[in-house]
Amino acid sequence: MSALIEFKGFNKFFGEHRVLNDIDLSVQAGEVVVILGRAAAAKAPCCAASMAWKPPTAAA
């Protein structure tokens, strides 16, 4: 079965500042995933990219 959401080598930059570095994630149908982190830990850019709101800066 293929993943509903899949990232390989996901990177996100804001200017020169890298906020996500080489993230790999695979979510299958029926799985529940929680992304935890402190404030300003780049949770929102990861979620936005997973829903195709904003593309990654680079990906494999």
Task: Give per-residue pLDDT as tens, 2-47.
Answer: 888 888 888 888 889 888 888 888 889 899 988 887 876 777 777 7
Any domain includes 12? yes
Q: Decide if 57 is inside a domain.
A: no
Count of domains observed in the chain: 1
Count of CA atoms in the C-beta half-sphere (13 A) of 37:
12
The reported pLDDT for the residue numbered 53 is 60
Tokens standing for residue 38: 């402190």
Query: Is residue 41 domain-resident?
Result: yes
Residue 20 belongs to what domain range? Answer: 5-50
User: Does residue 9 lie within any of the structural domains?
Assistant: yes
The verdict on residue 34 lying in a domain is yes
3-class DSSP state for residue 48?
Answer: helix
Amino acid at the residue 2: S
Pair 55, 49: CB distance under 8 Å? yes
* CA atoms lying within 13 Å on the CB side of residue 29: 2
